[in-house]
Amino acid sequence: MITFSLVPSTSTLRLAKIKEFLALFELECSEDVESFVVAKEDAKIIACGGIAGKVLKDIAIDGLYQGKHLALKLMSELLHVAYEAGRQELFLFTKPCYVEVFEDCGFKYITQAAKTIALMENHQNLEPYCKSLRALRVKGNKIGSLVVNCNPFTLGHLHLVKSACATCDWVHLFVVKEDASYFPYVTRLALIREGLEGIKNLTIHEGSDYIISKATFPTYFIKDKRKIDSLFTELDLNLFRNHLAPQLGITHRFVGEEPLCVVTHEYNQQMKKCLAQVGVMPSIEVVEIKRIYHANEPISASRVRKAMQDGDIELISHLVPSSTLYAIQNILKKQEK
Amino acid sequence: MQQNIIPSHAGTLESSDLFVRILPKKEGGVSIELESSVCEIYADAIKKTVLECANAFGADGMSIIVQDKGALDYVIKARVQTALLRAFGMNELDWSVL
C-alpha cells in the first residue's frame, strides 16, 4: 500500500530521510522548501516533492516505481497541498527529460538551463506579460536595460542608470519584485522612482515572476553567499534574453561592476557569456559600469545597510540621494521608539 | 447575481479521473480550459458536460480548468460538481440542482 504524508521541513528527523532519498537522484534538498509530500511503501520513501512558496521542486520518484503512474498520484497530492494553501499560480523545476511528465499535469514549459534544469508554470502568465511589455516598446537603435534590486537606492544606482541613459536612446529598468530584502518592494520601488525623477528616456517597470524571482533564480535570495548556482543564473538569463528582451527590442544590458558581492559578481560574468551567445534571438551586449567611490570604498547598498546598523547617518548621507536618506532617517527614528 | 467564488479544486491526475480547478475571473461568463488525453475525440462532449454542470449552478465569472485523463461522463460530472460546491462554499447539497 502506498501512503502519502506531508512533512514540514522543520521536522528534522524526517527531513534527513528525505535528503538521503533526494541524494540518490543527485538532487540537493533546497533550503527554501517549506514542506514535502512524501510517498511511502512499507515505511520506505518511494517518491517525494517539495513546495517552496509558489514553486514545486525537488520532485523525485524511485526508479522501480517510474512508469507506474506514481508521478500523477504524487502530483495530485502536491497540487492539492499547494492549492489548499491558496497558491494558485505555480512554477515547477524539473530535469528537461521529465518535462513531458509534468505537461500531463497541466504545466507548461518556459525555459531551461543546459540539460540539467527546466522551469515550468501551471498558468499562462508569461505570454500576457510579454504582451504588456510589447506595448511599452520604444523605437531606437540602442535600447538599454537594467535589472535592479536597490536595497536601498544609492548614489551608485543613480550613477549606473544615468550612465546607461546617457548612451542609449531609451532605457528599461526592471525592479526585482520579490520581498526578500531588508527594504520591502514598495519602499524600494518608491525610492527608485523618486531618485530617478526627471530622466526622460527611461521606463521603470514593476518587477515580475520572470525576472530574478524565487521562481527564476531562487539562489539569489539565499543568504549564504558561497552557494551560487550557475544553473539558475543561466535559467534567469535565458528567460530574459529569449522572452522578455525581444518584446522591447533590448540591445544592451547594463550592470554595475561588482567588487564586493560574490553572487552579483558571478552573475555579471555569466551574463556576459550568456547574453552575448549567438542564437535564435538577437544577442545582447553587456556593459559593465565602473562603481563610484566614497572614502576609497565603492558605494553599495550593502554598505548603506551596514552603516544603518552602526547608526552612521553621516556616512549614509554621502552614499544615498536625499530621498533615500529621508526614508532611512524615518526608519531609524521608528526603531529608536 | 454577484457570486463570491472561492478558488477550489477536485479530483486527481490519475488515469480515468480528472483534476478540476475553479478560479474566479473578472469578466462574466464561464470559460473552460480543457486538456485531455482523449481531446481529439471527446473535447466537445467533455466541455458540454462541464458547462451543463456550471449552468445548473447558475455559475458566472469563473474559469474552469480541466485536466482530463479519460474519465467517464459521470466521473466528470461528479468532480465538476464537487469543485463547484467548494467554489460556492456550499456545505448542504441541493439535490434538485445535482
Q: How far apart are CA A202 and CA A168, in angstroms?
A: 10
* Per-residue exposure over A190-199, b if at least 16 CB sit within 10 Å of its own CB, e if not: bbbeebbeeb
Closest CA–CA distance from residue B98 to any residue of chain A (Å): 24
User: What pLDDT is stored for residue A228 in this prediction?
Assistant: 54
Number of domains in chain A: 2
- The domain of B72 spans 8-87
Which CATH number do you get for residue B18?
3.30.230.10
A128 to chain B, any CB pair closer than 8 A? The answer is no
Q: Are A175 and A242 in contact (CB under 8 A)?
A: no
Cell 514553486 belongs to A55
Which CATH number do you get for residue A255?
3.40.50.620
Strand partners, A108: A121
Domain C-terminal end among A105, A124, A143: A124
Say whether both A285 and A241 belong to one domain. Answer: yes
Residue B98 forms part of a structural domain: no
CB pairs < 8 Å spanning A and B: 38
Say whether both A120 and A139 belong to one domain. Answer: no
- The domain of A284 spans 127-336
Q: How far apart are CA B34 and CA A236, in angstroms?
A: 30
Residue B61 forms part of a structural domain: yes
Nearest CA in chain A to B24: A88
Task: Compare CB distances from B13 to A86, A88, A105 and report the shortest one's residue.
Answer: A105
Say whether both A120 and A165 belong to one domain. Answer: no
Cell 515547477 belongs to A92
Domain C-terminal end among A104, A124, A144: A124
User: What pLDDT is stored for residue A223 in this prediction?
Assistant: 54
- In the predicted model, is pLDDT for residue B2 greater than 70? no
At residue B11, the 3 state secondary structure works out as strand
A76 to chain B, any CB pair closer than 8 A? The answer is yes
Query: Which three cell numbers, joined as nine digits, stand for A235?
Result: 535559467
Number of domains in chain B: 1
Say whether both A319 and A186 belong to one domain. Answer: yes
What does each of the 337 residues of chain A score in pLDDT, given as a tens digit?
899 999 999 999 999 999 999 999 988 888 889 999 999 999 999 999 999 999 999 999 999 988 778 999 999 999 999 999 999 999 999 999 999 999 999 999 999 988 889 999 998 889 999 999 999 999 999 999 999 999 999 999 999 999 999 999 999 999 999 888 899 999 999 999 999 999 999 999 999 999 988 888 887 776 554 455 778 888 899 999 999 999 999 999 999 887 777 777 877 888 898 898 877 788 999 999 999 999 999 998 989 999 999 999 999 999 999 999 999 999 998 888 7
ipTM above 0.90, yes or no: no
Residue B93 forms part of a structural domain: no
User: What pLDDT is stored for residue A267 in this prediction?
Assistant: 77
Contacts with A104 from chain B: Cβ below 8 Å: 13, 37
Q: How far apart are CA A72 and CA A78, in angstroms?
A: 10
Which residues make Cβ contacts (< 8 Å) with residue A290, sequence separation at least 6? A257
Say whether both A199 and A330 belong to one domain. Answer: yes
Question: What is the pLDDT averaged over residues B36-58?
Answer: 94
Residue B35 forms part of a structural domain: yes
DSSP-assigned states of every residue in A63-125: GGGTTTTHHHHHHHHHHHHHHHTT--S-EEEE-GGGHHHHHTTT-EEEEEETTTEEEEESS--
Domain C-terminal end among A124, A143, A163: A124
Q: How far apart are CA A50 and CA A8, in angstroms?
A: 9
Per the prediction, chain B carries an average pLDDT of: 92
Cell 477536485 belongs to B10
Query: Which three cell numbers, joined as nine digits, stand for A298?
Result: 565603492
Contacts with B19 from chain A: Cβ below 8 Å: 76, 79, 105-106
Say whether both A13 and A38 belong to one domain. Answer: yes
User: What pLDDT is stored for residue A48 in this prediction?
Assistant: 96
Q: Which of A88, A101, A107, A109 to mutate to test the interface with B (most CBs of B within 10 A)?
A: A88
Say whether both A133 and A120 belong to one domain. Answer: no
Pairing relationship of beta strands A293-294 and A285-289 according to DSSP bridges: unpaired
Say whether both A169 and A269 belong to one domain. Answer: yes
Say whether both A190 and A72 belong to one domain. Answer: no
Closest CA–CA distance from residue A105 to any residue of chain B (Å): 7
User: What pLDDT is stored for residue B1 in this prediction?
Assistant: 47
Say whether both A106 and A143 belong to one domain. Answer: no
Among candidate residues B80, B62, B60, B72, the one with its CA nearest the CA of residue B19 = B80
Nearest CA in chain B to A105: B13
Say whether both A45 and A174 belong to one domain. Answer: no
Q: How far apart are CA A279 and CA A242, in angstroms?
A: 9
Say whether both A174 and A315 belong to one domain. Answer: yes
Task: Compare CB distances from B19 to A76, A86, A88 and report the shortest one's residue.
Answer: A76
Nearest CA in chain A to B65: A106
